[in-house]
Amino acid sequence: MNLAAILGTGAALPEKIITNADMEKLVDTTDEWITTRTGIKERRQAAPGETTSVLSIQAARRALEMAGLTPKDLDLIICSTISPDMPLPATAAFIQNGLGARPCCAFDLAAACSGFLFGSTVAEQFIRTGAIKYALVVGAELLSRYIDYNDRATCVIFGDGVAAGILGPAEPPSGILASEMHTDGQFADHLYIPAGGTAKPASCETVRAREHYIKMRGNELFKVAVRSLEDVSRRVLEKAGVCPHQIDLFIPHQANQRITDAVRERLGVPQEKVYSNISRVGNTSSASIPICLDECVRSGRIKKGDLVLMAAFGAGVTWGAILMRW
């Protein structure tokens, strides 16, 4: 069976920057409060005309260019998002058509912040078995559309952004060495949007109650996130027979700098081997890890042969990890 590798990456961030100073004008908060508790200094906000698929197409084109491929080469498109263009059809369909890709399997995947890793793991299975050759996996979120700017616990955290990866067959030792995906629904009400689905269809009442916005129990999630991220990271390392000190770079989901620091310390990974951009982009959910990955690849932080560990935790709750040799 083939190994699957990420052959190209691309990202697309909205131009508008919302700083902590801007947040101070919108809600009862301060730069010091936000920075101390999250590590965030600024985040991006999509313009009214920008949609999830529009930014996804931009990111996908950059990833295809890096991989030396065209949209016609794609056999599979997975869009991981909890902020789609619309409930029906899948945003992946708009991406496929916008790219000019041939008709192929294209679908959305909803795993929140773990989405890019879930999507990459799904694509990996197709590639390893030889069912397909090339897949586009997009992590795309316009969370500003779901933020309640009266709720300081959530509005200061989330930002908009999209990034993509092109996966294809690779010759060992390069490729994905181990991966895991998990979900535990008992914590589903710790991070969710109450209305807009079949449980609570949109109505005047749900709009008045502000139930179409993200609700989060941050303190409860913190402990679960740290424990889950440490556990799944160790599990994929053990699967591949790799010790934490052997990895060259650790890219965790950019949820909260304190979570990143706690997981790093538990794993015993040195600070210089951990990548963080949360201060500049905030929490972009499923786009978080691929944005970091794209920055690392393009800056030369990731080099051929490097062992890269990626781990994420999100609503559901979901968590997962991928270990790959670049």
Active site residues: 113, 253, 283
Order of all β-strands in the sheet with 249-252: 175-183, 318-325, 307-314, 249-252
Phi first, then psi, for residue 181 (nearest 5°) are -135, 140
For 208-317, strand residue ranges (E) read 215-216, 249-252, 307-314
Find out whether the peptide bond into 317 is cis, omega within 30 degrees of 0: yes
Order of all β-strands in the sheet with 160-170: 3-12, 160-170, 135-142, 76-80, 105-109
* 281 to 32, 176, 222, 267: CA distances (angstroms): 17, 27, 20, 25
Beta strand 307-314 with 318-325 is antiparallel
Q: What angle do CA 89, 191, 77 make, to 5 degrees?
A: 30
Find out whether the peptide bond into 89 is cis, omega within 30 degrees of 0: yes
